[in-house]
Structures are given as structure tokens and as C-alpha cells.
A = this chain, B = another copy of it.
Amino acid sequence: MDAVTVDTILMHVRESLERNDVPEAIRIIETLLPADQADVFEELEPEHQEILLPQLAVEDAADILEELDEADAANLAARIDEDSLAQIVAEMEPDEAADLLGDLDPILSTATLELLEEADDVRPLLLHQDRTAGGLMTSEYLAFPQAMRVSQVLSAIREWEPRGPETPRIFVVNGGRRLVGQVGLMRLIRAEPAQRLRELMDPDVLRVHTSDDQEAAAHLMSRYDLLVVPVVDDEERLVGVITVDDLVEVLEDEATEDIQRIGGTEPLDRPYLDSSVGAMARKRIWWLLLLFVTGTLTGSVMSLFQEELDRVVALSLFIPLLIGTGGNAGTQTTTTIIRALSVGDISLRDTLRVLWHEFRTALILGALLTVVAYIRAITWVDSPAVALVVSASIFAIVLWANGVGSVLPLLAARFKVDPALVSGPLMSTLVDATGLLIYFSVASLVLGL
């Protein structure tokens, strides 16, 4: 649904609420798909949200709490009565329910758990840390003992009504609930009713451990095209599964973090408009201050060469241009390398190939810019010597910037630091000061200053 449609529907819902026609508002909301329901819902006034949520069909209310941004969902949940909340939470997917309960005040969270009939689905999920495979998993999956027959499994499946997405995969466990195999639902349908799971199952199952990083789980799923990956504890016992909708979310969050870091800001953790101005300023100020301090280096380099600048005033005109070009070339390289590392196109063992690749690219770019810079300089200051200094410097600066731009993110990866921290702004600031050093050295050499 696009923004215009959301606005139109929102208008109708608001009109209904203004004339106190709550049933009409509910009717409109219940015709929508979950993601659209949440979009409309989050635009309503808090007092309207409180009135509407407990009156919606409980499945719709559950969908809305699942789709809302986590902090919004927790705020809303805290404002409705405990019985309604427990009923809604009972209809949520267990992993989403656990996330919500984890965000609530501990007293409210405990009270809701006590009112919850299927608390056993949710309780174990609360034990795992955010951003681990255990924190991402759900307890809704199909697992049967290896001695069970196909006919028994199929009748068990007939009784199963999951609240989340149905994934067509059955996990097979031994007596100690250890994961020993898997069978696809299609394979099961094709099998003879008397066959046992042991005979059908594929014993090779890729798995993750509860304490694994969620990004590791996501990369495993994306690399091997898995719709669902089982999560086991330290004794290899099956305790949950991660489904592909979570994979999509993790991948998007990860790209968002990379992009924000490349832009020189700490990741926001929350959607843009839900981040407070104070939080936004906090995420940005340290980078700005760091870059400010390193930026003063550029000025210091200029003071060092003040005498030369005074003697050939034209030199100063090209300073912004030279440091800008260095920063741009370095940023191009760094962002390309950061992303290639992120998606696994390159890894540390490719370091030499990457450097060789960037070196040759820099030769071409440097050569082209040298020509352009010479022409620009000679038409501007009419001094072949200055034009030579400017164009030779730009060649050296582009080579240098591409080198620094490729080495820094690889070094970061080598020391297990997020390569995205070597962001564009950091790169530009570093290359600014060093680029000026190159410029003044070339100038001293050529002009004999």
C-alpha cells in the first residue's frame, strides 16, 4: 500500500472515530493486511489506539503489535488492561511475544506471563540475549522422534495450527531431543505411510547455536538458501528455529547499520522518526568531534607551510580542490570495499588482489584527473610551474587515497573491528591532511621553495 492509500484510509478511520463510530473504524482496519493495519494504527492518537486495540479481533490486534516498531508496541501494550494484553499476546508468534514481553516493565511482563495459557512457548525464549540466534528464534516448529511413522507424523501435523508462517520442514530428534535429521513436507507426503522418519530423513542438517551471533545465522541462511534453520543448545538439543522473515529483517538492519556508519554516524537502533533528537545528536556528535580534531591537522599542515603559501599565493587556491579530490577517491574505494566485505565478495585472503585491483584503477583515474587538473590550473593561474605542481600532486593524491581507502577497511576486518567504521568522513579527513603534505612536498620540489 502506498503513502496516498494509507492517508486516505487513515482519514476515514479518523472521521469514524471523531463521530464516535468505533465499530466503523474497526471494520475499516480489519479489512487491511497486517503491515498496513500497523501503518494506519501508528498514526492514530494514543487515546484512540487504547480504545481500538482491545476491541479488534484478537488475531488482528496480535498482528498489529507484531508489526509496530518495538518501542511503540511496548508503549501501547503498557496502556491497555492486563487481561486484554494476555489474550492478544497469546495470539502472537512466540518469538514476537517474547520480544514484546522483554521490552515491557518486568512487573507487567511477569503478570502477563501468568495470565498466559501458552506461557511455556514463550518463557524459554526470554532467556536469550538480543542479537543472538537464541534471541531471534521461535518455538513454533515441527519436530518428531526418529522412530515415528509417516502416518503418525501426518496426523500430528493435522492437529498443528501455528500462529506464524508455516515452513515445510520437519525436524527429527532422538530420545534426548538431540537434532539428528530433517525431512521436507513434500517428501513426507510422497512417502509410504508405514515408513519411519529415520528412513526418510536427511541426516545432514545445518544448524546454529543459541549463543551464535544473529548475523552468523543470517549469513548461513542466505548462503545456503535456507527457509528455516534449527537452533540447538550446547548439548545439540533442538530448542527453536529461525524463519526466513527474520533473516530478511536481520539483513536489512545490517545494511542500515553499514550505511549509517559509512555516513559517519553511529547506528540509530530505531526507525528514523522514532529516534529522539537527543539520541540522534548523541549518535553523531562523537564522530563530528573526532573529525573536528583530526580536521585541525589540516590547518596545522597549512601553518607549517605558511611561508611557502605566502611566497606563491596561487597555491592556496587549489587546496580545497586537492583535498576534496583525495577525499572523494578514498571514499569511493572505502565504501566499495566495505560492501564487498559485507556481502562476502571478498575476504581477508584477497587483500593482495584488492590492493593490486585498486592500484591499477587509481593509475587510470589519476592519469585522467592529472590532465584535467593541468588544463584547469593553467587557465586559472597562467603559471606552468603551478599547473605542474597541481597536476602532479593530484596524481599522487589519488594513488595515495585509493591505497589508504583499501587498506583501512581490510585492516579493520583483520582486527575484528567493523570495517564500516572506516567511514567516508573519516577517510576524507585522514586524506585531507596527508594530501596537503603531498601537495606542499611536490611544490617545494618543483618550485624550489
Contact = CB atoms under 8 A, between A and B. Distances in A.
Interface of A: 3, 7, 33-35, 154, 157-158, 160, 162, 165-168, 184-186, 189-190, 206, 222-225, 227, 244-245, 247-248, 251-252, 255-256, 258-260, 262-265, 268, 271-273, 277-278, 280-281, 284-285, 287-289, 291-292, 295-296, 298-299, 302-303, 306, 309-310, 313, 316-321, 323-325, 327-329, 331-332, 334-340, 343, 345-350, 353-354, 357, 360-361, 364-365, 368-369, 372-373, 376, 380, 424-425, 428-429, 432, 436
Nearest to A167: B168
Given A222-B248, A424-B425, A316 B302 contact: yes
A189 B35 contact: no
A263 B186 contact: no
Contacts of A347: 3
Specify how many copies of this chain sit in the oligomer: 2
Select the residue from A157, A190, A309, A327 with max chain B CB neighbours within 10 A.
A327
Contact of A278 (B256, B272, B364): B364
A321 B189 CA distance: 69
Given A3-B347, A321-B299, A328 B255 contact: no
Nearest to A359: B277
A369 B261 CA distance: 20
Contacts of A335: 259-260, 262-265
Select the residue from A222, A225, A302, A373 with max chain B CB neighbours within 10 A.
A225
B320 A298 contact: yes
Given A190-B158, A272-B345, A425-B327, A320 B317 contact: no
A325 B369 CA distance: 25
Given A299-B319, A303-B317, 7 more contacts: A167-B227, A251-B255, A259-B339, A273-B350, A281-B365, A289-B369, A324-B429
Contacts of A166: 168, 184-186
10 contacts: A35-B223, A166-B185, A248-B248, A265-B332, A268-B336, A271-B340, A280-B361, A288-B365, A292-B372, A328-B425
Specify the main secondary structure of chain A where it touches its partner: helix
Contact of A339 (B248, B251, B260, B432): B260
A259 B255 contact: yes
B298 A262 contact: no
A302 B281 contact: no
Contacts of A255: 251-252, 255, 258-259, 339
A264 B328 CA distance: 7
A63 to B, nearest CB: 10
A67 B70 CA distance: 36
Q: Which 3 A-B pairs have the closest CB atoms?
A: A263-B335, A255-B255, A298-B320
A376 B300 CA distance: 12
